[in-house]
Amino acid sequence: MASNNPELSSMDSALLRGIDSETMLRTGRSAYDEDRWGASDVLTKGVALTAAATVNSFLNTPAALLRTLGADVAPSVSMGDWGFDSESMQYYEDKKVAIEGAALILALCFQALPL
């Protein structure tokens, strides 16, 4: 259903341009340039990176809580500590929001399991 409100369309376009500009500044590529990564990369890189991000969230929880209380504590583990190759780490940087979001959902599912 097309919108008859031209202001809404221009706001959508401005939002998409803003997202694309931020991505270009951060990664050097357009947010909508999907030619670099394919569906197979989700399985070969995304699943392992999501699992590592889930473990990171559990391992880094004490440090995050201490930082909340004002302590100067570094995270216990980072994604670079897992030994992923440079291409996988580039995939992580490009898809960080999706990977971290999936890790959050996965961590919440683990916490909901009865012990």
pLDDT tens-digit series, residues 86-101: 999 999 998 888 899 9
Overall pTM > 0.85: no
In 3D space, the residue among 77, 55, 74 whose CA is nearest the CA of residue 64 turns out to be 74
Report how far residue 91's alpha carbon sits from residue 37's, in angstroms, rounded to the nearest whole number.
Answer: 8
pLDDT tens-digit series, residues 31-55: 555 567 778 888 899 999 999 999 9
